[in-house]
Amino acid sequence: MSWSSSDFGPSAEVFGKNGVLEEQKFPRFKKRETQVYVGNLPLDISEEEIRCLLKDFNPLHVHKIQNGCKCFAFVDVGSMQKVALAIQELNGKLFRKRKLYVNSNRSPKRTLDVTEWTQELLGLEKTSGQGFARTTACTQLVPKASVDPCKTEKPRTSIFAVPMEMRGSFLALLLRECFRDLGWLATIHSVGGDVGLLVTSIVPQTPFFWAMHVTETLHQNMQALFRALAEAEEQQPYLHDSAVRRGTRCLAEYQLGDYGWAWNRCWVLDRVDSWAVVTFIDFGQSATIPVQSLRSLDSDDFWTIPPLAQPFMLEKDIWSSCQVIHRILKGKITGALNLELHILKFEEFK
């Protein structure tokens, strides 16, 4: 079952210890040993082209996944030996001017250095003299008008629907189920003035995006949260197949650009066969990942720190490139959306 914009009734129950199973007892876990993950693929690549890319390893099955600006695939090559060979041969290889990320589909060890990441953000914040602000979304936008030397054209007004995952009704459900507290919605609209934003996710061809407003408090929250998750990851059991459903709080791996992979908080939006559609709470990013790769994260101790990112909207432009993700934008908050006061409008300094 999928959610619609009006489907925000009581969510599915949250599972505890009875809904999880240890990794070594999970009957479907070994199946992933013959799969290889291929990341940073071109958005227009076909599954047949992916087969050709791995033709030397005789791929048995290709499952391509595209989420916004990201495209990746899980490829079953039939044996662990071929997985190792594929990683050795293809990881880091340039394909259509893109550096491929190839690794085993088994959950790898955390490679993110949390201290390095947060300290670099703190340094960037001090250099710019500004903090990182949270993002906004809006329904109306005046894009830049094209220049025609023969005639003058008035700027047109474009209408954009606020993405479902940015709407107050959706966020209220998420906060109630994950954090047991709606206070975050009442405070995030207070950000104002000149700000800096660390962009974590965008909605292509719209003005909407998610970003972090970095302050000393946020740095402390990031370090406390990531360290707690890193320490707990090995102790958190993999979820049983029957426990993964809409509304489940869990733990999954998220890639922070060049900083590597780390286990992060997520919430199940939907379930399709052996795949789960999840949203990473702290990055405003959705992804489709194998059900068998999700770990339990039901303890309220992991949900005391509020989300690290919030939704924004560009005041006078739309997103045409994904290269802005994990970059800092300097600008000012110009207001909030009338019916969605938690969504702030942002104008970038040129």
Domains of the chain and any CATH numbers: 35-104 (3.30.70.330), 164-348 (2.30.30.140)
CA atoms within 13 A on the CB side of 97: 1
Chain-centre distance of CA 294, in angstroms? 15
Residue pLDDT, tens place only, 93-152: 889 888 888 887 654 444 444 455 555 555 544 444 333 333 333 333 334 444 454 554
Residue pLDDT, tens place only, 39-54: 889 888 999 999 999 9
Could you give the CA distance from residue 89 to residue 51 in angstroms, rounded to a whole number?
15
What token pair was written down for 299? 């303890």
> What is the model's pTM?
0.60
Rg (CA), the chain: 21
Alpha carbon separation from 273 to 71, 244, 317 (Å, rounded):
20, 11, 38
Q: Can you give the pLDDT at residue 10?
A: 31
Q: Please, which residues have CB within 8 angstroms of residue 137's CB and are 6 or more apart in sequence?
A: 162, 163, 166, 207, 208, 311, 312, 313, 337, 340, 343
Residues of the chain with pLDDT under 50: 1-31, 107-114, 124-147, 149, 152
Site of tokens 């199946």? 31
Q: Can you give the pLDDT at residue 257?
A: 65
Q: Can you give the pLDDT at residue 307?
A: 94
3-state per-residue secondary structure call for 185-216:
HHHHHHCCEEEEEEEEEECCCCCEEEEECCCH
Closest alpha carbon to 84 in 106, 110, 60 = 106
3-state per-residue secondary structure call for the chain:
CCCCCCCCCCCCCCCCHHHECCHHHCCCHHHHHHEEEEECCCCCCCHHHHHHHCHHHCCCEEEEEEECCEEEEEEECCCHHHHHHHHHHHCCCEECCEECEEEECCCCCCCCCHHHHHHHHHHHHHHHCCCECCECCCCEECCCCCCCCCCCCCCCCEECCCCHHHCHHHHHHHHHHHCCCCHHHHHHHHCCEEEEEEEEEECCCCCEEEEECCCHHHHHHHHHHHHHHHHHCCCCCEECHHHCCCCCEEEEEEECHHHCEEEEEEEEEEEECCEEEEEECCCCEEEEEEHHHCEECCCHHHHCCCCCCEEEEECCCCCCCHHHCCCEEEEEEEEEECCEEEEEEEEECC
